[in-house]
Structure 1
């Protein structure tokens, strides 16, 4: 029986089809665990961190209102505490007789605030090892601040002392638990300042606003009607949020007491910690002019 000859047309069609590129397979999505890991270990964009950083500034005023009302100590502004300690040491060598020997209670509280603030800032060095702009560290670092604020709540509560000092020179929080409340509040601000400094945004440290005031008043675009202007608007927002924090902190302190106000502050810090999840990641900069020809 004769074998039929192959059809030339069908053979050429088969050859053409075999030479066509294979259809590209749709990219497979990475497993959920891997995506979460990559998201947590990505660097956040400091320029797009307006929400958590502005609330950091709010917390500066909020916590400072409590410590100043109790013992005339700004737990976030350590310049004044440093000068106060220098004056206390100076009184040991000069002044009217009889000279005061030893640190008085206000001086001890200033020293407590300064030391614990530095401890909080030192804890921030953990982030330098993990990556100071990594999302995982910003979440954990803010959570640690919330834990410190909650500790200030509990120690202020069980100290049994009032939330408000008398005249200057007669502060409250003079018991060991009162000192602990001041210390935990100061440590939380030290850690917050470290996080803000490492991000390097227009909000600076989110703690010291003297520099922000000067930069704001000296901004060449201060009176420009154009908006938005990041260098101007973010500084104005930082100042406004700190003012509102002090206002609301003092109002709550006078209504529900320092311990309960610290609890509110801990809850706010917890919300800030969660908010870092949604801050966009830092995109790598595109090279200008393309690759060089060899």
Structure 2
């Protein structure tokens, strides 16, 4: 009897509360849905510009790539034969390769842990982490922990191993892009590889097909052009500002916008 009296004394849920609960349920369902294949490639194409921008900046400043590991492999090989142009340049490249490899493993496991690579919450979380890593790298350079001057004010023989922190952070996050590309089934836009992209583009038997008849060919061309433009912009920004961090803040801003785009709020509102 006492329990029934307590239940009767409680006020009923207001319509606003019911609407809030319904909105939460819709939001959870929206984030648990799979990303549509016909729109998932757009953010990845933007990532190609980000790759060019990042590598164009970091190579100029620290003599290594953080996304494209083919060049780093050659740098390590040259270092072992005593032909590295920069003291311990092979160490930067080896750090980048190692952190990129660890990043591939970590992002792949993370995607599986939270439900699958194609889910909206997966790509949202993945790009949020990538953005966070870029922000941390830009912040430690901005704060003076790492020399961000371009060109560097140090003597070429003066080695600063603190630079490895930025290389490690940026290489780790770059791995997330290609893991997302594979997970979403957009392998024609790997975002961090040009060699295989060009091979697949030129060897496509439908290379000269009409624009509307070969979407993969179109995406490969756009990916190549955006990577090239990104690298050019990275060089221009570094030269104009005399610093590394402006390019990295730009990268962080772009990745932040990409992260928000994965929310797909337009789709959510249309389903409301």
1:128 equivalent to 2:128? Answer no
**TM-score normalized with structure 2 length:** 0.80
Following superposition of structure 1 onto structure 2, how do residues 10-21 of structure 1 map, counting pairs within 5 Å?
none
Residue of structure 2 in register with 1:44 after alignment: 35
Residues 185, 278 of structure 1: alpha-carbon distance in 2 compared, 3 angstrom cutoff: same
Following superposition, the deviation at residue 161 of structure 1 comes to 4.4
1:251/1:215 Cα in 2 relative to 1: closer, same or farther (>3 Å)? same
Paired with 1:235 and 1:81, the residues of 2 have a C-alpha distance of: 23
Structure 1 residues 33-112: aligned runs within 5 Å: 33-91=24-82, 104-112=87-95
Compute the TM-score of the two structures, normalised by the length of structure 1.
0.74
* Aligned partner of residue 274 in structure 1, secondary structure: helix
Who is 1:138 aligned against? 123
Alignment of 1:235-246 (within 5 A): 235-246=220-231
Per the alignment, residue 258 of structure 1 pairs with 244
Bigger Cα Rg: 1
Measured on the aligned residues, the alpha-carbon RMSD in Å equals 2.8
Match of 1:32 in 2: 23
> 1:164 is matched with which residue: 143, 151, 154?
151
Match of 2:98 among 115, 120, 132: 115
Q: Hey, what's the Cα distance between the residues in 2 that align with 1:109 and 1:227?
A: 43
1:249–1:171: structure 2 CA closer, same or farther, 3 Å change rule? farther
Please give the alpha-carbon distance, in whole angstroms, between the structure 2 residues aligned to 1:226 and 1:270: 31
Q: Do 2:189 and 2:223's aligned partners in 1 also have CA atoms closer than 8 Å?
A: no
Residues 172-222 of structure 1, C-alpha deviations (whole Å, 9 max, x = no match): 8x4243221122111121122221222221534211121111111111221
Return closer, same or farther for 1:280/1:86 CA change in 2, 3 Å cut-off: farther
Q: Which runs of 5+ in 1 are unaligned?
A: 1-28, 282-294
Q: Deviations over 1:46-85 (max 9, x none)?
A: 3321320111111110110111111221211112222332
Structure showing the higher helix proportion among its residues = 2
Unaligned runs of 5+ in 2: 1-18, 268-272
